[in-house]
Amino acid sequence: MIDLVTFIPRAVVQGIPLLYGCTGEILTEKSGNLNLGIPGVMYVGAISGVIGSFFYEQSCGGNVNGFLAIAIPMLCCLIGSLLMGLLYCFLTVTLRANQNVTGLAMTTFGVGFGNFFGGSLIKLSGSEVPSIALSATSSYFSKSLPFAGKFGAFGKLFLSYGFLAYLAIIIAIVCSYVMKRTRVGLHLRAVGESPNTADAAGINVIRYKYVSTCLGCMIAGLGGLYYVMDYACGVWSNDAFGDRGWLAIALVIFTIWRPNLGIFSSILFGGLYILYLYIPTGMDHMELKEIYKMIPYVVTLIVLILTSMRNKRENQPPASLGLGYFREER
C-alpha cells in the first residue's frame, strides 16, 4: 500500500503553497474582502521572484551570494504581490468596485502576466540560455537542515523541507494568534462581520481592509515563490502552477476561516492532490485517476454544504464577505 514515509513529505511539499494561499486569503476574507484574485496573485508573486533572481543570476554569473540569492527573489515576490494587493484594494475599497469581478480580472491578468513573462523573459532580456532554470537560487531555497538525514524517518517527515515551508507554518500560527487573541484581530473581525458597527466604534475600516488585503496578497505571493523555487527546483514552466490558487480558496472554506487548522488541512489537501499517483488503478483503467483528482473539490463542496446546513454561528463566513462598505450607504 502507500508508503507513508515517502508519501507524507510529498503531501507536505504540495500543501505548503496551498497553506500560503489559504492563510493569505483568510486574512483577506476576515476583513470582508472576497479576493478571487488569489490565483493571479500567486502567479505574480512567483514570476516576480523568478524575474528578480533571473537577473541576479545573470549579472553575477555563477558565484551566487547565498544571502542575496534568497533576499532578492523574496523582495521581488513581496513587492509584486503587494502591488497586486494595492490594485485590488484601490479598485474595491477606494473605488468601491464589485469584488468578484475585480478578483476575476486580477486572476486573468495575473495568470497572463506570469505565463507571459515566464514564456518571454529570455527573449525580452536577450540572454543566451535555453530555459529559465534557477538551480543556484533554488538550491538555497530548498536547503534543509544539514542533520536532517541523521534522524531517519523522523528527519524525513519533519526536517527535510526548505525554510519557506517552516515560514508558512509560522505565519499561519501567528495569523491565527493575532486574529483570535489580540485587539487588532478583534478589530479586524469586527470589520469583516459588520463594518458599520466597526466604523461607529471608531475603527478605521478602510485602513484595516487595505492592510489585511495587502498582507494577505503578500503571503499568498510567497506561496507562488515556494512553488517555483523549492518544489519546482527553480524551473519555470507555464501553467505548471495550475489550479492551486483556486484550491487555496477552497481550503479557506474547508478550514472554516482558521489559519491554524489550515496547517493540517493544507497538508491533507496536498495529499489528496497527489493521491491519484498512489492509488493503484492498473494500466487499463487510467481514467480512474481523473476521478481521484476530483476528491479535493468534492470534499470542499461537502464541507461548504455541511457548514451552511448546520448553520453554527462560529463556522460561518464573515457576515459582510463580498460586500463593499460605504459609510453613507446603509
Partner 1 sequence: MAKTENHEPFIHISKRDVLPWYKSMGIRAIAILAALIVCAIVTMVLTGDNPISIYAAIFKGAFGSSRKTWVTLQSMSILLLISLALTPAFKMRFWNIGGEGQVLIGGLAAAACMICLGGKLPNAVLIPIMIVASIAAGAFWAFIPAFLKAKWNTNETLSTLMMNYIGIQIVAYFTVYWEVPKGSGKIGIINQNGNEGWLPQIAGSKYLLAIIVAVIVTIGMYIYLNYSKHGYELSVVGESEQTARYVGIKVPKVIIRTMLLSGAICGLVGLLLVAGINHTITTTITDGQGFTAVMVSWMAKFNPIYMIFASFLIVFLNRGASEISTAFGLNHSFSDILTGIILFFIIGCEFFITYRISFRKKNGKEEKAS
Q: Which of residues 74 and 121 has its CB atom nearest to partner 1 in the complex? A: 121
Q: Which of residues 170 and 298 has its CB atom nearest to partner 1 in the complex? A: 298
Residues 206-245 close enough to bind partner 1 by CB under 8 A? 238, 243
Which residues lie below 8 Å from residue 124, measured CB to CB, with a gap of 6+? 117
- The helix, strand and coil proportions of the chain, stated in percent and rounded to the nearest 5, come to 75, 0, 25
Residues written for the chain: 330
Minimum distance, C-beta of residue 165 to partner 1, in the bound complex (Å): 25
The binder of partner 1 chosen from 234, 300, 320, 325 (CB under 8 A): 300
The answer to the question of residue 109 lying near partner 1 (CB under 8 A) is: yes
Distance CA 47, CA 73 (A): 9
The answer to the question of residue 119 lying near partner 1 (CB under 8 A) is: yes
Minimum distance, C-beta of residue 321 to partner 1, in the bound complex (Å): 8
Q: Which of residues 71 and 295 has its CB atom nearest to partner 1 in the complex? A: 295
The answer to the question of residue 55 lying near partner 1 (CB under 8 A) is: no
For residue 294, how far is the Cα from the chain centroid?
20
Q: Write out the H or E segment, with its range, that includes residue 158.
A: helix 152-158
The answer to the question of residue 315 lying near partner 1 (CB under 8 A) is: no
Distance CA 238, CA 240 (A): 5
Query: Between helices 205-226 and 38-60, what is the axis angle to 10°?
Result: 60
Return the amino acid letter for 38: I
Grid cell at residue 297: 473539490
The answer to the question of residue 111 lying near partner 1 (CB under 8 A) is: yes
Residues at the site binding partner 1, with contacts judged by CB under 8 A: 34, 36, 87, 90-91, 95-98, 100-102, 104-120, 123-124, 238, 243, 246, 249-250, 253, 286-291, 293-294, 297-298, 300-301, 304-305, 308-309, 311, 317, 321-322, 328-329
